[in-house]
Amino acid sequence: MSANSSDPVERLLAAVTAAARQMAGDQSVTPALDPSPRPEMGDYSTNAAMMLAKPLGRAPREIAADLATAIEAELGSSLEKAEIAGPGFINLFLGDAWYREAAASMAAGGSAAVAPVGEPERIIVEFVSANPTGPLTAASGRHAAYGDALSKLLRATGNDITTEYYVNDGGTQVENFAASIAARMNGEEPPEDGYKGTYVNELAERARSEGHDPADLERLARTGVEWMVEGIRGSLENFGVSMDDFFSERSLYEDNLVDRGIERMREAGHVFDEEGAVWLRTTDFGDDKDRVLIRSSGEVTYFGADVAYHVDKIERGNERLIDVLGADHHGYVARMAAAMEALEGGKAEFEAQIMQLIHLVEGGERTKMSKRAGDIVTLDELTQDIGVDAARWFLLQRSHNQTIDLDLDLARSQSSENPVYYVQYAHARIQSILRKAAEADGGDPGDPLAAPADPSEKALVSKLLAFPAEVHEAAEKRAPHRICAYASEVAAAFHAFYRDCLVVGAEGDGVEAARIQLCEATAGTIRQSLGLLGITAPDRM
């Protein structure tokens, strides 16, 4: 981020920062520059003077006076005036020249450009990873929407991203799964802790027609999981999520990665044997108790396999491992972080993002979802009900850290009132204007564009200029829901502009052309915002 940046807001911030640093004699000062909350407070305001009050030992407003003079000198003619307000804010009022240039800066890329982060990382994002013993649920859909949007945000800010689904195709739950299919093939009820959903009947039917032997549980397990993964992949693709990889737990054993991982931890001195089991001393790294890697029966625990999987992620060159986990796995975080520290300390950052629960509400009651009982609303059913766009918006608009109630009745009956339509409508409206503009014969393309003059027009420009900062903040905070809020604000700013400013046929030199360009930038910004969320931007509604 420098004064040479093509981002007009970055340039403003650079000027403010330079002035503040010179006055403080301290290069570490990082003042904030924010859009002003109200028009009478100018276009942007900075808290720089207040930040300097303590180190300089002077009153904030006094500093602000000097700083304002310095900022005026830095910015020259693009600044109309700088006012000191409140406890020491400096409010910047920008002139036509700045606005004209700012509007033009968005023309090339279709929106304000998102600069890559200073130090891009190679990141692997693991999400969903639901057991392949049943179809994806609506809750998995929340994970899918979040993980996908987060990956897109991190990619948009310049990082190298891999997305991955860990397939738990080993272990007892798969045995239960196979036993359940076999039971149905034999016309029996699944075992007590088996899977009772109707999809199991369908799998049994298919197994029978393809000549499977219900007694061959191993083959049944492998095939059943294969079919399930196939279905899961399809559900995800239908939902607009394409995983880079599906990583098989079983392959860890086949490739001998589990033994190797445990051996390495043993060499590092963090493994011990007790009561016939093999343990990892995670308490040395902040966990509240030590964890078993290999049971006394000789079986590797889920944790043991998962550690080996994470080791593999690091060995593939990833610098940061992000796991998107359900709230019911939060107890798992400390031990995995401990394991990563024990094994590969400092080599890669392990980061867990914990998703809070989603409750489906139907008929005013919360639906209990149990995969084993087969009492679930699947992701496929959800998207059929309310559509992919509405589902993704619904699942993403709240912080992933927040428990949400998804009211199915509401989502169905009021789908036209879903906020996603508000944003999509703005986009469709713009496309309509642009179609109209294309029909009408525009002015001379060589004419200079008018500077945005109307308050709604200027407000829209500055809202669009905030796009890069919003994307960076959403990425850094792992908070795609901020993009939902931002997209809504862009749509609102556009609707206000639409109300106040005629586009096609606007009077004045270069006004129509400037407004068409602004419409294009708005459409581009909405399209990109929705794109980060995996939501379409329709041209007509």
- Kindly identify the residues of this chain, within the stretch 388-417, that bind RNA according to CB under 7 A: 398-399, 401-405, 416-417
Q: Which of 238, 296, 384, 413 binds RNA (CB under 7 A)?
A: 296
Q: Please, are residues 164 and 126 in contact by the beta-carbon 8 Å criterion? A: yes
Q: Which of 275, 365, 441, 444 binds RNA (CB under 7 A)?
A: 275
Supply 414's token pair.
């009021």
Q: Which of 89, 127, 227, 350 binds RNA (CB under 7 A)?
A: 89
**Residue 385 makes contact with RNA by CB under 7 A:** no
Question: Please, what is the minimum distance in Å from the beta carbon of residue 208 to RNA?
Answer: 27
Question: Please, what is the minimum distance in Å from the beta carbon of residue 66 to RNA?
Answer: 17
Residues 416-435 that bind RNA (CB under 7 A): 416-417, 419, 421-422, 425, 428-429, 431-433
Which residue in 328, 297, 355 sits closest to 145, CA to CA?
Answer: 355
CB proximity list for 446: less than 8 A, separation 6 or greater: none
Q: Which stretch binds RNA (CB under 7 A): 10-18, 73-81, 116-124, 495-503?
A: 495-503
**Residue 503 makes contact with RNA by CB under 7 A:** yes
| Residues linked to residue 358 through DSSP beta bridges, in sequence order | 404
Residue 219 or 289: which CB sits closer to RNA?
Answer: 289
**Residue 471 makes contact with RNA by CB under 7 A:** no
Q: Which of 302, 369, 387, 531 binds RNA (CB under 7 A)?
A: 302
Residues 133-162 that bind RNA (CB under 7 A): none
Alpha-helical regions (H) of 189-243: 198-209, 217-238
Residues 233-262 that bind RNA (CB under 7 A): none
Residue in the block written with tokens 């000549």: 211
Question: Please, what is the minimum distance in Å from the beta carbon of residue 512 to RNA?
Answer: 9
**Residue 87 makes contact with RNA by CB under 7 A:** yes
**Residue 29 makes contact with RNA by CB under 7 A:** no
**Residue 439 makes contact with RNA by CB under 7 A:** no
Q: Which stretch binds RNA (CB under 7 A): 3-11, 116-124, 146-154, 288-296?
A: 288-296
- Alpha-carbon distances, residue 129 vs 151, 192, 295, 309, 466 (angstroms): 15, 24, 23, 13, 35
Pairing of strands 79-85, 44-46: unpaired
Q: Which stretch binds RNA (CB under 7 A): 22-30, 135-143, 223-231, 294-302?
A: 294-302
Query: φ and ψ at 336, to 5 degrees?
Result: -70, -40
Binding mask 167-186 for RNA (x = CB under 7 A): -x--xxx-------------
Residues 336-355 that bind RNA (CB under 7 A): 354
Q: Which stretch binds RNA (CB under 7 A): 154-162, 229-237, 458-466, 490-498?
A: 490-498
Which residue in 338, 170, 358 sits closest to 252, CA to CA?
Answer: 170
Alpha-carbon span 221 to 219, nearest angstrom: 5
| Residues linked to residue 185 through DSSP beta bridges, in sequence order | none
Count residues binding RNA (CB under 7 A).
85
Question: Please, what is the minimum distance in Å from the beta carbon of residue 60 to RNA?
Answer: 7
CB proximity list for 175: less than 8 A, separation 6 or greater: 217, 221
Residue 152 or 212: which CB sits closer to RNA?
Answer: 152
Helix, strand or coil, per DSSP, at residue 57: coil
Residue 104 or 422: which CB sits closer to RNA?
Answer: 422
Burial of 22 (0-12, 13-18, 19+ CB in 10 A): middle
Question: Please, what is the minimum distance in Å from the beta carbon of residue 211 to RNA?
Answer: 29
Question: Please, what is the minimum distance in Å from the beta carbon of residue 205 to RNA?
Answer: 25
Residues in the chain: 541
Which residue in 178, 161, 160 sits closest to 169, CA to CA?
Answer: 178
User: Helices 217-238 & 379-386, crossing angle to 10 degrees?
Assistant: 20
Q: How far is CA 33 from the centre of its chain?
A: 24
Residue 255 or 274: which CB sits closer to RNA?
Answer: 274
| Residues linked to residue 320 through DSSP beta bridges, in sequence order | 123, 349
Q: Which of 2, 25, 28, 54 binds RNA (CB under 7 A)?
A: 54
Q: Which of 22, 36, 367, 536 binds RNA (CB under 7 A)?
A: 36
Q: Which of 16, 23, 24, 51 binds RNA (CB under 7 A)?
A: 51
Supply 300's token pair.
């590797």
Residue 268 or 541: which CB sits closer to RNA?
Answer: 541
Helix, strand or coil, per DSSP, at residue 141: helix
What is the per-residue DSSP string for 235-280? HHHHTT---SEEEEHHHHHHTTHHHHHHHHHHHTT-EEEETTEEEE
Q: Which stretch binds RNA (CB under 7 A): 48-56, 181-189, 198-206, 220-228?
A: 48-56
Q: Which of 25, 37, 57, 445 binds RNA (CB under 7 A)?
A: 37
Supply 540's token pair.
């007509």
**Residue 328 makes contact with RNA by CB under 7 A:** yes
Residues 356-375 that bind RNA (CB under 7 A): 356-357
Alpha-carbon span 111 to 115, nearest angstrom: 12
Which residue in 287, 237, 203, 222 sits closest to 128, CA to CA?
Answer: 237
Q: Which of 86, 345, 442, 443 binds RNA (CB under 7 A)?
A: 86
Supply 463's token pair.
């809202």
Question: Please, what is the minimum distance in Å from the beta carbon of residue 353 to RNA?
Answer: 11
CB proximity list for 522: less than 8 A, separation 6 or greater: 426, 430, 460, 464, 490, 494, 497
Q: Which of 25, 198, 499, 507 binds RNA (CB under 7 A)?
A: 499
**Residue 540 makes contact with RNA by CB under 7 A:** yes
